């Protein structure tokens, strides 16, 4: 369908989209909720997987129904 | 932007403790609560929330089993609440706003450029007649109409503009340059005697002389005729020109009383001050100055950055005087009369060469009567237009 309509891959699916601005800011669309939140670790539920954000001084700047914005010094992103 | 809206609408910083704060965050996200800036602090988190949304968090808090505690209030609503019972402050702010609005809408400085002295005063007087003075409301005038009226009223003005800029009225004036006087050499005229006298010399450039040196003439006599008759009988009308010097006599009488009353300074001065504030003059003294005095006023405005503000101090200096009776001797009375004669000569006979002054003195019991006969040498030729009937 995407190929037939000449759209970017994955746009028709319900996958999460993650944007990383340097190592200081992370924006995620398609977020289903926060599973764990400390200033060193944030686990974000994104459908069938979890995104683990490890870092320092992490804070959730914006939290909406399916969108989250994380700020801080990000060390690593891991999908579980 | 979020910060500005937060400041205007009011923001609370809330600490979330106990229970599952992650669940609380997710519930808030689901309920679309206006929250942001979640920060983890050990076992608790802090979050910023719109003040009006705080009540709506209870349901999410109850479901997540967390406790909420307001730790900081920001924004204008909380600031205003703090000063809610301070009526004086509120009244002060209100009065300040009213005064600011009142004073900003009025003219307090009239800055005139391109003109000074007598014409400046004339324009200011005219503006006053039109109603423009210090303290008048800017919006009450149609400056274009006033400008037209001023140009009509003052013929010396060729162009002017009135530009209100805040509380300053800028008046730019350009004066009319008078056209040079065009001498009409074509207009036929005669030269006649302006005063009685005896002719001493004649220097005629144009015209036919009717008198000669040594002749006595009275005021109005024809001296040089503009009608020049040629040998062939034809008459040409010209503009008679020339200089005719004559010895003239002027008589002036001064009566000087022996007993004169003068006003003389006692040496004492009194000063009175008044505070000038936006057109109002508030006296800084009690009582008035009694007796006779000579008053001089001085105004010292408050000047900031070369702009004179409508605030200042009026200083009135009263030099006290007292009447003093002076008794003059005959000689002193004559000397005063001589002085008056010289003053008369310098003022009334400026273009005359004084050859002699003869004094005749008469003395009565109360005054001296001095008659001065002034002999002068002056040009008595006066141009008078010829009336030619065809």
| 3-state class (DSSP) for residue B179 | coil
Class of residue B6 by CB neighbours under 10 A (exposed 0-12, middle 13-18, buried 19+): buried
Q: What is the pLDDT of residues B276-317, one digit of tens each?
A: 887 788 998 888 888 889 999 998 988 887 777 778 899 999
For B14, the token pair is: 């809330």
Q: Can you give the pLDDT at residue B390? A: 53
Contact A61 B37 (CB under 8 A): yes
Element (H, E) at B90: helix B87-104
CA-closest candidate to residue B160, choices B115, B118, B219, B225 = B115
Q: Can you give the pLDDT at residue B275? A: 92
Q: Which of A36, A59, A65 sits opposite B38 (nearest CB)?
A: A59
Cα-based distances in Å from B281 to B270, B273, B288, B293, B309: 19, 10, 16, 22, 14
Contact B284, B275 (CB under 8 A): yes
State which residues of chain B have pLDDT below 70. Answer: 1-2, 183, 389-390
Cα B59 to Cα B24: distance, rounded to the nearest angstrom: 10
Domains of chain A: 17-79 (2.60.40.2000)
Contact B29 A58 (CB under 8 A): no
CA-closest candidate to residue B54, choices B35, B80, B78 = B35
For B39, the token pair is: 């920060």
Measure in Å the smallest separation between the Cα of B108 and chain A Cα atoms: 53
Say which CATH topology domain B2-80 has: Alpha-Beta Plaits (3.30.70)
Cite the residue boundaries of each domain of chain B with CATH code 3.10.20.310: 109-175
Cα B236 to Cα B228: distance, rounded to the nearest angstrom: 5
Q: What is the pLDDT of residues B146-204, one digit of tens each?
A: 889 888 888 888 889 988 888 888 999 998 887 777 767 778 888 899 889 999 999 98
Chain B nearest-CA residue for A32 = B26
The residue with greater pLDDT, B346 or A55, is A55
Backbone phi, psi, residue B44, to 5°: -115, 170
Cα B278 to Cα B301: distance, rounded to the nearest angstrom: 11
Contact A63 B35 (CB under 8 A): yes
Contact A77, A53 (CB under 8 A): yes
Q: What is the pLDDT of residues A10-23, one digit of tens each?
A: 666 667 889 999 99
Q: Is B229 on the interface with A (CB under 8 A)?
A: no
Q: Is B28 on the interface with A (CB under 8 A)?
A: yes
Phi-psi region of B75 (alpha: psi -120 to 50; beta: other; left: phi over 0): left
Cα-based distances in Å from B317 to B207, B266, B268, B293, B310: 62, 14, 10, 9, 21
CATH C-level class of B109-175: alpha beta
β pairing state of B109-113 and B168-175: parallel
Cite the residue boundaries of each domain of chain B with CATH code 3.30.70.250: 2-80
């Amino acid at each position: 369908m995407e190929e037939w309509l000449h759209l970017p891959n994955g746009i028709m699916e319900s996958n999460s989209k993650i944007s990383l601005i340097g190592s200081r800011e992370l924006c995620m669309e398609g977020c289903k909720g926060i599973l764990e939140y400390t200033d060193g670790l944030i686990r974000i539920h994104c459908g069938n997987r979890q995104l683990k954000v490890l870092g320092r001084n992490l804070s959730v700047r914006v939290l909406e129904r399916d969108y989250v914005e994380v700020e801080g010094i990000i060390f690593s992103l891991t999908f579980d | 932007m979020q910060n500005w809206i937060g400041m205007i609408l009011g923001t609370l910083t809330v600490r979330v403790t106990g229970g599952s704060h992650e669940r609380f965050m997710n519930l808030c996200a689901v309920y679309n609560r206006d929250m942001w800036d979640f920060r983890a602090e050990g076992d608790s988190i802090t979050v910023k929330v719109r003040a009006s949304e705080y009540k709506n968090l209870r349901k999410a808090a109850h479901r997540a089993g967390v406790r909420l505690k307001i730790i900081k209030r920001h924004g204008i609503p909380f600031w205003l609440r703090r000063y809610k019972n301070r009526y004086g402050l509120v009244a002060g702010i209100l009065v300040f706003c009213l005064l600011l609005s009142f004073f900003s809408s009025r003219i307090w400085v009239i800055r005139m450029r391109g003109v000074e002295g007598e014409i400046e005063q004339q324009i200011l007087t005219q503006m006053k007649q039109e109603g423009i003075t210090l303290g008048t409301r800017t919006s009450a005038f149609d400056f274009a109409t006033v400008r037209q009226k001023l140009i009509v009223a003052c013929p010396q003005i060729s162009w002017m503009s009135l530009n209100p800029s805040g509380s300053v009225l800028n008046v730019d004036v350009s004066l009319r340059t008078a056209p040079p006087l065009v001498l009409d050499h074509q207009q036929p005229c005669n030269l006649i005697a302006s005063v009685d006298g005896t002719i001493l010399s004649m220097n005629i450039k144009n015209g036919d002389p009717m008198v000669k040196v040594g002749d006595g003439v009275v005021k109005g006599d024809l001296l040089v005729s503009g009608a020049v008759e040629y040998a062939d009988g034809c008459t040409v009308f010209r503009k008679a020109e020339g200089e005719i010097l004559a010895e003239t006599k002027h008589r002036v009488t001064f009566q000087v009383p022996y007993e004169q009353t003068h006003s003389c300074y006692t040496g004492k001065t009194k000063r009175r001050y008044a505070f000038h504030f936006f057109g109002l003059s508030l006296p800084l003294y009690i009582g008035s100055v009694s007796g006779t005095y000579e008053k001089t006023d001085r105004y010292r405005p408050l000047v900031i950055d070369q702009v004179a503000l409508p605030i200042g101090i009026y200083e009135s200096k009263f030099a006290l005087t007292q009447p003093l009776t002076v008794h003059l001797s005959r000689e002193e009375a004559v000397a005063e009369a001589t002085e008056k004669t010289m003053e008369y000569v310098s003022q009334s006979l400026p273009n005359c060469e004084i050859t002699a002054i003869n004094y005749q003195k008469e003395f009565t019991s109360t005054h001296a009567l001095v008659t001065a006969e002034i002999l002068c040498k002056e040009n008595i030729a006066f141009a008078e237009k010829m009336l030619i009937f065809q």
